[in-house]
Structure formats: C-alpha cells, structure tokens
Structure 1
Amino acid sequence: MEKNELPFVKKIIDKYVNKKFLIIGFSAKTGLSAAGFFDRFGIKYKISDVRSPDEILPLAGECRNCLEIFCGPQNANQLDGISCVLLSPGVPRSISLVQAAVKNNIPVYTDVDFIFQFLEKKKTFCITGTDGKTTVTSLLSAILACTGKTAAAGNIGTPVFSCFDKIINSDYAVFELSSFMLEDFHFIKPAFSVITNIAEDHMDRYPSMAEYSRAKFNMVRNCPDRAVFIKNLDNKITHSFTPACRCVTISQQNKADYFFYNGSFHIKNEIFSYKECLLKGIHNIENILCSAALAAEAGVPGDIISRTVREFPGVPHRMQYLGDRAGRSIYNDSKATTIHAVEKALASFEKNIILILGGRNKGLDFSQLQKYNGRIKQLVCYGEYGLEICNIMKHPQSVYISSFDEACRRASLLSLPGDTILLSPGCTSWDQFPNYEIRGERFGELMYETLA
C-alpha cells in the first residue's frame, strides 16, 4: 500500500477498531478474506455459520482476532456485544439472525459495501444484471488497464478484502455485483454503472420478478447527479428504468448514444466491425456495448477501446469455444444458469445443436426454450432437474441421464461431424459440482476423451 494512502485508510479503520463484527457465513472466499482483513487491522470479530465444526474450524484455524465461533443453529444471542455484521453474499437477508440484527439497528454490510468507504476519490464502476456481468467486468477491466492501474473484484470471483491494497492503489476499481449484494447497503455509490439486462433468475430466492429487479435497481440509489448510468434500451425492464443520475444509452435496435448497426459498433468517433472481434456469440454484442460505453464515458480514447475489444478473447465457461474435435464444434457455456443465457447461446447457431441441459433448477421456466427445438438436433438432459426438463421441452430426440459425465459421453456418441456440442445447462452446478467452473472444466475433459 502506498504511504500517501495510509492516513486515509487509517481514518476509516479507526471507526471500527473498538467495535466487534459478526461474520455471518464463513465461506472460503468472502468469510475467510474478511477475517484476514480484520486480523490485519486489529478489528475484533466473531463467526457464525450453520455448518458443522468439522467444516468451519479448519477454515478458521489461523484467525487471530476471532473471539468466538458459532457453528450450527443460529440465534439472536449471537449478536450480544456485536456492533456490525459482515454478511457473505450467498446468505439470504431473510434469515432470522440477520433480521434480528436489523431490528436491533446493527448495520449489516457486504464486503463490497464496506470497501466503498475507502473509494471516495476513485473512479468506481459497478456492473450487475442477469447475464453478461463477468464478461463486461473482464472486458471493461482490460480496456481500463490500457490507461491506468485497474482492480476488478466482487462477484467475478475475487473477494474485495483479498485484493484490498490493489483496489486502494488503483486508478480504476471495477466491481461485479450480484442481486444478493444489492438487496441492501450503506456505501455503494458507483461513478459509472450498468445493468446489462434483467430476465428471470433466482426465483427460488425472490417472490417475484419485481423484487428481483428492485434489487438490481438498488445499485444506483445513492449515486449523485454527476454519476453515469448506462441504460440498455433493448431490454424491456432496463429500458423502463430511469435513475436520478445521468443516463447514457446503448442499443442494437434503437437510436442511442452508443450503438451497433449494420454489423459494426459505433463508439463515439470509432466504428469497428463485429467480424473483427475474437469475442463471438450474439449476446456478446450487448456485452461489448456495455463495456465500451462505460470506458468511453470514463474518458478512455476510442482507438484504445476498439483495439482492446477486437483482441479480447472472452471469459472461460461463457460461450467458450473449445475448438473442433473430430469435426464437431465444442462450446463450454457452463456459466449459463438462466433461461435468458441459454436462449442467447441457442440463437448463436442455426441448426445441428447437441444441447446438454440440467443441474439444479432455480425456479425457472424451461418451456421458454421450446421455440428453439428446431435448432436442437439432440437434447441430452442430466442431473437433479434433468428429467423434468426433458418432459417440459418435449423434444422428439431427447434423453435423460442422471450422471453429468455419462450425459456428456452420450452427447458425444450422438453427434456427427458438422454438429455443435453445446453445454449450456440453464441450471446451477450444485447437484454434482461445487461450482460452474469445475463443471465446465470437466466438460472439456470429457469432450477431449470421447472425441479423440
């Protein structure tokens, strides 16, 4: 950390050194990195997690400032002597322990919310939306890195506390935010922001689309008038949303400040063809517009934006082209855990798709995919919700196989040269894998093995 930053950091930290935090949800990422941050700055804390001691204690073994660890059932007594709560993003705010904190006027922070206290003088960027968040965060970071020190964290997979020094010493701080992180907060106030799109997702957590959308819209509720919000005119829900700060528009279909027309992107004075870009898939047109508009509004020259966009290879597990194997085109879209994302993937190919769907459902409606049955040559469903998907899709050439490995092998066997094998599951990975990354990596391994 640079010396000239230390007085500012110390001023914020001094507000908390005599307070006690309760970390609710001690994950290997957010919870552990928060404990490390508190240890570093001498802040006392306790830990509460519903899992067993066998799961939690090994993680918490080196926590120096931890006063107490609660494992198993949670209750309001765990808040005794607690001044603040640090909530892991995956833990619902609806649980009784969090509600008890709110009732007792104990502030509840997420890690990104807490960090924003240190960023008053930074150019901050926040990206949320149903799909495209990680691609936009990664591409925007690549563009910004051409002109200054850039740090990206949050829902992209890097906990903010684990890269605190990098964020503090950056010129640009870029945060990917999930709806969970935006349900309530105190300090989040981005200078530049975008909601990529909003479509049905997390219906197992939110009672309605309106509630889910409201969480996304929360992102800009604290923004001053001079802040910039990128408004996607092509998404019905984002089109209807108008925040108090300055709106800049993007579109593939309407007149906008930044737009895609006749195969080319129009970014201020720069025009460049989509065909020149390494990033493929029609959904990535929207992602490029979001990233380019944010960068342009932050003052990045158009030639740097166009060059970086053209050279950007994409993000693993998001319509990731794995190459041709035995005449088949292989695409890993393991991150596609929404119907909206699967639709974008299917729209990228006209025919001969061998589609792998399945996993654990989030309360989503798979009947919306029936209109793509003509493009799907063979449907292979797997996992916890796979049989239900088979029944809903009513595809004449469909098969259900419980095991992910066996489903991928069957997809290979059913394919012919000229086909596209596409993993775009529409479900989370949690029935058979810890995360979508491991699922995507396993898919690649199986394609390599079966199509040698």
Structure 2
Amino acid sequence: MALPKLDVTLNRWKGERVVVLGLARQGKALARYLTGEGAMVVMSDLKTSDQLQAVFTELADLELDYELGGHPLELLQGTRALFLSGAVPADLPIALEARARGIPLLNDAQLFLERCPAAVIGITGSAGKTTTASLVYQMACVGSESSDRQAWLGGNIGRPLLDDLKNIKAQDLVVMELSSFQLELMTISPKIAGLLNLTPDHLDRHGSMQAYIDAKAHILSYQDEKSTAVIGSDDPRAWDLRERTRGRVIAFGLKKPWDGDAAFVDGEALVLQLDGQLHLICQIGELTLRGPHNVLNVLAACAMGSAVEIPVEAMSAVARSFRGVPHRLEFVRNTLGADWYNDSIATTPDRALAAVRSFDEPLVLLLGGHDKQLPWETFGQEVLQSVKAIILFGEAVPKLEAVFQKIRGSAATPAMHAAVNLEQAVQTASRIVQAGDIVLLSPGCTSYDEYPNFEVRGERFRDMVRAL
C-alpha cells in the first residue's frame, strides 16, 4: 500500500501527536526536531528505563512522553505520524497497523529533505557509501574555500542532519549518506542522487534481493526532470535502474560506459567527460587508497562533484590526498614484518572480496563473526586461489569451514585455521605471519556474535595489533 503523503508546510507538526520508535541517534534527533516544531512527542523503545538513563539525561530539556519495553498498538490512538529510527524494522506489528490505519511511516531523512534549503547529494549503494560521501564532502570543502558556501556531511554516516538544519543556508551543499532502511520509507528523493552498486545485503531485513533493490531505488523514484542521477555502470543491477530516471544521468565505471557525461579510467588516468570534453583528475598511481573498488569510489565522487560544479582542481587535490575512513582498509601498523589492515566494515562476502583484491602481497585473511546467510561460494572460489592463509573466527566458523572445504577438496593450500574469537584469531596470525605479508581483517560477517557493531570490532582489532 502506498504511503500517504503529508504536506511539507512550516509548522505542520504544531500541536500534533507523533510517535517515534527507537531511542538511538536518529530517534534522538527526531525528538529534538519535532518538539522544536511544537509536536506532542511520544518516544517508544524496546529497552527498559534502567537501560536508557543516559538517554533520559541527554533529552532532559525536552517535553517528551515515554513508552518503554515494547511498542503497544495503543500508541497509535490519535497519532498523526509514526517515525522509525534506522534500525527499527518497517514490518513490526505497530508499523503494519499504522499502514492499515492510514498513518504515515516517516523518518529523519524524509523530514530533512523536505525542509533542507540547500542542494543535497544523496548517496546509497551496497558498498562504498561512506568513503564516497567523505570524498565528495572533502572535495566540496576544498572547492568552497574562497566562497561563503559551507559543506555538510551526515545521514547514515553517523550524524543525523536534522540537528544541523537550522544552520544550513541556501548556498550550502549537503552530502547525505542514505541506507536501504531509510529509503524504503521515503517519498522524496535528493536532487542529486548517487547509486553506487547493488549486491546482496540486508536480505534478512528486506526478505528478498528484489525488495532490497526496490528500497534502494527510492533514491531515484521521486526525482524530476531537473534532477541528476549518478549511477555505477559496472554494476548491472545498479545500471539497469537508469531506466527509472527522469533527468540527467552521469555514469561512472572503470571502463568508458557511454558517450554521455561520465567519470572513468582512460589508460592509467581517472578522467571526467562533460559535454564531450575530457578533464584529467589524476593518475591511478597517485591515489593513496588501495584497490579497484576505491578507484570506483573516487570516480563516483568526481561524477557527483561535477553535478554541483565542484572545480576539477578540488577533485584532483582530494583524490591524491584522501587517506580513507576508519575501518575501511585502514592501515594499523607494521609489526612482525607484516602490514596489518583493519577492514571491519566488510560485513558481506562481496565487500571482503573487494578488500582481498586490493592486495598483491601474500595475504593472511581474518574472516568470521555472525553470518548474514549470504552466499559464500563465489568468494571462496576466488579467495582460496589467491590468499596465503585464512583464519576463521567466531560464530560463522562451522559454516565457512564447510563451504571452503567443499571448494578446496584435498588441496593443502591455503592454510586454514580456526579461532574461537577475534582475539584468538589475531594471536594465531601473529604466530604464522612472515616478513612481507599482509594481515587483513575483512570479516565478511557482522560483529554481533562478539561486538555491538563493526566500529567496536575494528577498534578492538586496532588495540590487539598495537599490543603485539
């Protein structure tokens, strides 16, 4: 059923009763924004009062009601809208009942795009969102140094942009990372939309690959003829969605995708083609980021930057100097003769495979955690032929051992080891590593069997390596 559209006039929430599910970052941002708009806000969370004392302190200056320990359907009585934080599934009983009653399901990203006075570049994809968004933001900062334009970065990257809305001016530029969880609810698209790639992820949440693609496609669905879509042409699923666009399309890929506007690799150079003219960004060898996937991220950022007229000189400067984002092929240190890298963000086989492809050196791969029930066969067929050793760890060990043994058969290489947890995996790596090796944490799984999120897992890995 299509979600009802609400008006986007000022003060539309004044005096209205609204319910916000989830008291994490996005929920807290919604609480601050909606109370500021004069709404009567009820916050609901599955956690108990004892578990949320820090949140109560943080929001103590706001007039809020709380419903804790569950989301009873009675909350919907007299409610104008139901807001979901990013981690809250849209198929909860209360969300389904809200739909049935014609109560709109909304989120912080929807509200922000409705009210933001500045140009917004929205970025989504299965991999590379944060790196690409950070690149575009840095390019915008460098390109605006001599003007009064300010660049803003937020969204799913960890900073809800609703908190900044009152300070954003019409001449500014906003770079906004958007997840499938946010997009599935949205009935508005950014004027500049970046769709990087589409590979299996979050199928436990969306139910099928097609549902996941449909959620991601919302970044394009509500654009108009004056909008711009930047789409990865090397990814067939993403590139097929260009058929849903209404405005300008800029492509990016490792090969020249078409004769239209595009960012691509020409020989050893990254170039932009705009209105038939080629502009040099830099040489591949000048990039500080490793791997073909990061070449694509830089190309995507340049394509998006061109849509808002960021100078090519600014793109070139950032492409040459950008050293990456924590937990994404992050160099930790050299010890025991080897370079150790933290790629804790890799929570799917596809992301882990992209990391493995970034290295030509002998590779000791740390793989494991909580499996998302995604296919591992393609990963195994390539990686078992290319790495020196694999150290499996955590809850996924039995499944990964079975998959890899079936592929490897009686072959003796690569060496396979199993560890109970990440700490034991690091200790195993420290015993088998040799000078000139790369030790790579690129787990291919989530962290939930041992850590609350990939950031904490990456931080712990850093600490363990620095202690060797």
Q: TM-score w.r.t. structure 2 length? A: 0.89
Residue aligned with 2:127, SS: coil
Selected match of 1:71 from 47, 68, 73: 68
Q: CA-to-partner distance for each residue in 1:399-447, whole Å, 9 max, x for gaps?
A: 2212211111111212111111000001111221122111111111111
Checking the alignment, whether the CA contact within 8 Å between 2:350 and 2:379 is kept in structure 1 is no
Checking the alignment, whether the CA contact within 8 Å between 1:56 and 1:71 is kept in structure 2 is no
Residue type of the alignment partner of 1:424: S
Residue aligned with 1:145, SS: helix
Name the residue aligned to 2:3.
Answer: none
Selected match of 2:279 from 258, 270, 278: 270
Name the residue aligned to 2:190.
Answer: 190
| TM alignment of 1:50-199, pairs within 5 A | 50-61=46-57, 62-119=59-116, 121-146=117-142, 147=144, 148-168=149-169, 171-186=172-187, 188-199=188-199
Checking the alignment, whether the CA contact within 8 Å between 1:412 and 1:421 is kept in structure 2 is no
Residue aligned with 2:294, SS: helix
**How many residues align structurally?**
437
Query: Displacement of 1:259 after TM fit?
Result: 1.0
Query: Displacement of 1:49 after TM fit?
Result: 1.4
Query: Displacement of 1:165 after TM fit?
Result: 3.3
Selected match of 2:16 from 16, 19, 26: 19
Q: 4+ residue stretches of structure 1 with deviation over 6 A?
A: none
Query: Displacement of 1:270 after TM fit?
Result: 2.7
Residue type of the alignment partner of 1:158: R
Could you say if the C-alpha distance between residues 264 and 310 of structure 1 is closer, same or farther in structure 2, counting changes exceeding 3 Å? same
Distance 2:112 2:241 in 1: 27
Identify the range of structure 1 (14-23 vs 390-399) with the bigger mean alpha-carbon deviation.
390-399
| TM alignment of 1:299-318, pairs within 5 A | 299-318=309-328
Checking the alignment, whether the CA contact within 8 Å between 1:270 and 1:306 is kept in structure 2 is no
Selected match of 1:386 from 355, 378, 397: 397
Distance 2:248 2:64 in 1: 46
Query: Displacement of 1:13 after TM fit?
Result: 4.5
Residue aligned with 1:204, SS: helix
Distance 2:206 2:82 in 1: 22
Name the residue aligned to 1:443.
Answer: 461
Is 1:420–2:416 an aligned residue pair?
no
Q: CA-to-partner distance for each residue in 1:182-210, whole Å, 9 max, x for gaps?
A: 11213x32121111111111121122211
Distance 1:431 1:52 in 2: 22
Q: CA-to-partner distance for each residue in 1:75-99, whole Å, 9 max, x for gaps?
A: 2111112111121011110111111
Checking the alignment, whether the CA contact within 8 Å between 1:49 and 1:70 is kept in structure 2 is yes
Distance 1:56 1:24 in 2: 14
Distance 1:350 1:237 in 2: 28
Query: Displacement of 1:67 after TM fit?
Result: 4.5
Q: CA-to-partner distance for each residue in 1:204-248, whole Å, 9 max, x for gaps?
A: 112221111111111111111111101211001112122222211
Name the residue aligned to 1:5.
Answer: none
Identify the range of structure 1 (407-416 vs 392-401) with the bigger mean alpha-carbon deviation.
392-401
Query: Displacement of 1:351 after TM fit?
Result: 4.7
Q: Indicate the percent of aligned positions where both proteins have the same amino acid.
A: 27
Distance 1:403 1:143 in 2: 39
Distance 1:53 1:255 in 2: 55
Segments of structure 1 that go 5 or more residues without pairing to the other structure are 1-10
Distance 2:60 2:223 in 1: 36
Query: Displacement of 1:72 after TM fit?
Result: 2.0
Query: Displacement of 1:58 after TM fit?
Result: 4.1
Could you say if the C-alpha distance between residues 63 and 99 of structure 1 is closer, same or farther in structure 2, counting changes exceeding 3 Å? farther
Is 1:320–2:316 an aligned residue pair?
no
Checking the alignment, whether the CA contact within 8 Å between 2:156 and 2:177 is kept in structure 1 is yes
Query: Displacement of 1:14 after TM fit?
Result: 1.3
Distance 1:85 1:170 in 2: 32
Residue type of the alignment partner of 1:426: G
Residue aligned with 2:55, SS: coil
Distance 1:380 1:327 in 2: 18
Selected match of 2:254 from 235, 238, 252: 252
Identify the range of structure 1 (249-258 vs 230-239) with the bigger mean alpha-carbon deviation.
249-258
Name the residue aligned to 1:6.
Answer: none
Distance 1:193 1:180 in 2: 16
